[in-house]
Amino acid sequence: MKHSLRRTPAHALSFFSVTLLAALGCNQADPEDDTEPEPSASGPGPAVTPGPTDPTVAPSNEPDPSGTEPAPTEPGPSATAPDPQPMGNDTLYFPLYDGGEWTYTHHTLDGDWDERITMTADTYEGRPVFKVEDTPDPGGVVDIQYWEKIGTRTLRIHRDEYDNGSLSQRVDYVPGFLRFDEAWKLGAIDLATYERTATDSSGIVTVEQREQRYIVIETDASVTVPAGSYDGCMVIDRERDDVGDHSRFWYARGVGKVREENLDNGNTEELTGFSAGK
């Protein structure tokens, strides 16, 4: 996929056989913790020759004597999943691709490990969402998240956490944990609050009010990662003061998160592969 930004792949962009994120915001322990369909190509059908008409019978403009009017055609039901390739995805810093895949290498004090994020159009409790699933971290934990696009904002509304194959926690976010806002401009400061309700495997419920602060520090940054070099990136600082969490994210148009750095402990994530999917 061609983008307006310069991209020199460090190797062929491919994904590993983990959708986060961006970040996507992708999962790094607990990360709070993120085209348009082609028109039909069918051509015109064969020409149809009208049949003969009876010249003795004039067309009638009189209403049907039965008094019954043809029933109007009702539109079909709306799609239950979001547009799998929303218009303009290649211009967005936080694109949502049905079938998209991102691979990252995590560099931590405990060693390096790889993660694959997959994204599919889906529904959650009747709402069109994107389902985002990762591969296990070194401890065997997998997250399945549901992201909802509302206007220019992408929010995580639900997350299921699996520990070595067993559901260990279900988390709901109201109105949602903000992942990104395409309306952000250089210097913007966005304070987002939400209610986080977590239910563990034994049924214990914990409710918290949380607040995240987002600061746009660059909108034309250049960054090189194993997947390639990207120009025109937006750089966001995300802060959560109550636990001292301070992370920085680099987003490239049409791709999403290409780098993440925890400014407290030095852990990083770097994009190693990307596919827009369908």
CA gap 273, 5 in Å, rounded: 16
Phi-psi region of 58 (alpha: psi -120 to 50; beta: other; left: phi over 0): beta
Q: What is the pLDDT of residues 78-131, one digit of tens each?
A: 445 665 444 468 899 999 999 999 999 999 999 999 999 999 999 999 999 999
- Res 200: pLDDT: 98
**Contact predicate 268/39, CB 8 Å:** no
Cα distances (Å, whole numbers) of residue 31 to 47, 221, 261, 265? 60, 23, 11, 14
CB 227 within 8 A of CB 271: yes
pLDDT score of 243: 85
Q: What is the pLDDT of residues 191-245, one digit of tens each?
A: 999 999 999 999 999 999 999 999 999 999 999 999 999 999 999 999 998 888 9
CATH architecture of the region 89-275:
Beta Barrel (2.40)
Residue whose token pair is 């990762």: 134
Q: pLDDT tens digits, residue range 21-77?
A: 333 333 443 445 543 333 333 343 434 344 444 444 444 444 444 444 444 444 433
Per-domain residue ranges of the chain:
89-275
